[in-house]
Structure 1
């Protein structure tokens, strides 16, 4: 018995160590990608990112000191806040990510810019930044203290995390208009928006989950078609119409974003009058969600 328990503990430690190494590796890659976007795209074109990184870029531009210095200094207070309020695992993952980003920007400081056209810089800069940040977030890291601050402040003010980040970035991009120019500040805002959308795709993936509730008089036909043509299982829920008092069967189905159009086509084909409610799903665990093979 003791031997079995010891083996379980050893396996648990190995798994934990493997997860830590994997997390560190992907955070490092994410930081390198982001650093490349900053040094090879944004900085040569006098554009900035949002958050603490953007503020660091403005101060670096004004003072002439290396960006890597300010990335660490300005993010340190958020590390201590995160350590006290959220936990040491989150805090040290954040600290590692910021140090990795700082070192990467220092090594890439003299890179030759890959684009000089402003619109190309906006597009490629946003995608590169979003890919780096998204990969880091997906693996439990953080490259900017603004997110940590917004999570902590959200508990004390009537605003969401997204709204707090937006308010902070309005101030930062306004400062960029004075440090660079209004035009560059506007280009920076577009870059940030593209990066934000890219982060969403990287973190959630193209297989982002959605769920749909379908109320129809043809539930059997729709359920069979979804299973046969889409390869997804369905669940029947029982409901009652508040006006008619009639019993209704409601179909619940979870699917990916890429399957949404095909699913809607199936429903429209079998019952154009069906009532559909589709919502985003953050995670799906357990059950029989795995897609069936379609023959």
Structure 2
């Protein structure tokens, strides 16, 4: 009842969110199309997943790339509809259709470079940003992960391992179709795109979560607050071996503050337990830095 009332009270906000998602998916799919048709495809360089298979098939059959991007992705969306949810399925279908249309519209546009290394680097960057924008908007541009989810349920392999196997097989196939030098360029483009997806989703100034267990918890907590300007939270813990009470410090810092935090912990307690992990999003609370006087 509360959710319905909330939705009813903020119809403009919901419409703005929907419009924002659609715009980002269109922009992301457009960038992906540019990366393919203006950089990778003219230089016989492929990407991983369904996109890589589509590029190979389009090259062998001389049919438009957009046809294969749609025909190969849609069956996997239908197959995994129950596993991935209605919203994600429709978002992905919309993004794939926009990508297919984009590749068709860009066919007459000449490539910006015929240097395969430049094409790999800049094509990978643009592809990665495009995919990252679509993922941030709740969709996807490739059905490989859907296949991996379904296969992992009936095999001992994880989703990541299955996706890696698919991509190694697909990128390796480029060696037989385009030559092994182009297969190696394809690996460069794939790696760059993979890293750009992470950067686009997580942001350049990536946040990090920190857990600290020490006998000098209070001193470390005060030092983090006064010297880094970050708030800390004390959690209650129990030692697994000794069963003794442990106080755990939790805080969130920026990537640039990691080195300074480590030096603070080492200065206070060289034997302290310190665990640092990446965080995709930070929202709410008091994450904003306090002024340090």
TM-score by length of 2: 0.90
Deviation at 1:71, TM superposition (A): 0.8
d(CA) in 1 for partners of 2:245, 2:88: 48
Show the counterpart of 1:95. 93
The root-mean-square deviation of aligned C-alpha atoms, in Å, is 2.4
Q: Structure 2: which 5+ runs fail to align? A: none
74-83 or 48-57, larger mean C-alpha shift: 74-83
Give the aligned partner of residue 261 of structure 2: 263
Answering whether residue 175 of structure 2 is matched by residue 177 of structure 1, we say yes
- Tell me, yes or no, if structure 1 residue 215 matches structure 2 residue 213: yes
Q: TM-score, normalised by structure 1?
A: 0.89
Check conservation: 1:206, 1:258, Cα contact below 8 A: no
- In 1: Cα distance, 2:245 partner to 2:4 partner: 56
After TM superposition, the structure 1 = structure 2 runs for residues 232-243 of structure 1, keeping only pairs within 5 Å, are 232-239=230-237
Distance in structure 2 (CA, Å) of the matches to 1:49 and 1:21: 29
Structure 1 segment 86-165 matched on structure 2, within 5 A: 86-165=84-163
Unaligned stretches of 5+ residues in structure 1: none
> Equivalent residue of 1:153, what SS?
helix
> How far off is 1:6 after superposition?
9.7
CA distance in 2, matches of 1:46, 1:234: 52
- The Cα offsets for residues 190-242 of structure 1, whole Å up to 9 and x where unpaired, read as 21111111101111113433222223333222211211222211122344556
Which range moves more in the overlay, 236-245 or 71-80?
A: 236-245
**Map of 2:57 onto structure 1:** 59
Distance in 1 (CA, whole Å) between partners of 2:22 and 2:38 is 24
Can you list the C-alpha shifts for 1:247-268, whole angstroms capped at 9, x where unaligned?
5433222223232122112223
Q: Kindly state the Cα deviation for residue 8 of structure 1 after the two structures are TM-superposed.
A: 5.3
CA distance in 1, matches of 2:4, 2:179: 63
**Match of 1:49, SS?**
coil
Query: Could you say which residue in structure 2 is the equivalent of 1:252?
Result: 250
Aligned to 1:203: 201
Give the counterpart of 1:23 among 16, 21, 24. 21
User: Measured at CA, do residues 148 and 247 of structure 1 come closer, stay the same or move farther in structure 2, by a change above 3 Å?
Assistant: closer
2:201–2:280 Cα contact (<8 Å) kept: no
Cα gap change, 1:248 to 1:94, in 2 (>3 Å) = closer
Contact kept? 1:134, 1:199, Cα under 8 Å: yes
Q: 1:155 to 1:14 in 2, by over 3 A?
A: farther
Question: 2: distance between equivalents of 1:13 and 1:135?
Answer: 24
**Closer, same or farther in 2 for the Cα pair 1:240/1:129, shift >3 Å?**
same
1:244 deviation in Å?
7.1
3-state SS, counterpart of residue 234 of structure 2:
strand
Partner of 1:72: 70
